[in-house]
Amino acid sequence: MKRFTRTDAVAFLQGHGIKHPSHIDEIMSGFDLTRPLYEHLLQFDDELFQYVRNPSAGHLDAAAGNWFCLAGASRGGLAIIDGLAGRQLHTFKVVAPFAALEGTAAKVQKNWQYSIGGVGGATQLYVPARFIGHLQSAGAVLST
């Protein structure tokens, strides 16, 4: 992993097709910027996890979102809540190498409209849209 400054992280996002400043700010606000950021190189067969909303769980693919976590991360640690539909933890396998932006989830006020909120503090990864196809759903995790 390569440690990033905030400037490096913005350049990483811009270099992977995220150009609009408000979109970059939105992504960066998901990270606790008092903690380190990294470029995380993912290799074939590595696993990432994602809490997927239940309505999406039945016909899941990696297009469920750009935010992923490592094994053991809690919803509160990722600053997400179940919302009315609930969430299930799913495993995704890396099928082609790529780089993601890794950092610590920021503390977020509860917002039921977007099903976010919590203390943060867990490691999370932002995967640019161009790399979502490098992940394949391996199904629901049996215990959360």
Q: Is the dihedral of CA 74, 17, 12, 93 positive or negative?
A: positive
Q: What is the pLDDT of residue 18?
A: 96
Q: What is the pLDDT of residue 86?
A: 76
Q: What is the pLDDT of residue 63?
A: 54
Is residue 32 within 8 Å of residue 104, measured between CB atoms?
A: yes
Name 123's Cβ contacts closer than 8 Å, sequence gap at least 6. 69, 70, 73, 102, 103, 104, 105
Name 96's Cβ contacts closer than 8 Å, sequence gap at least 6. 44, 133, 134
Residue with tokens 């903690």: 35
Instruction: Give the Cβ contact number of residue 40 at 10 Å.
Output: 21
Instruction: Give the Cβ contact number of residue 116 at 10 Å.
Output: 16
Q: What is the pLDDT of residue 62?
A: 47
Low-confidence ranges of the chain (pLDDT < 70): 54-64, 83-85, 142-144
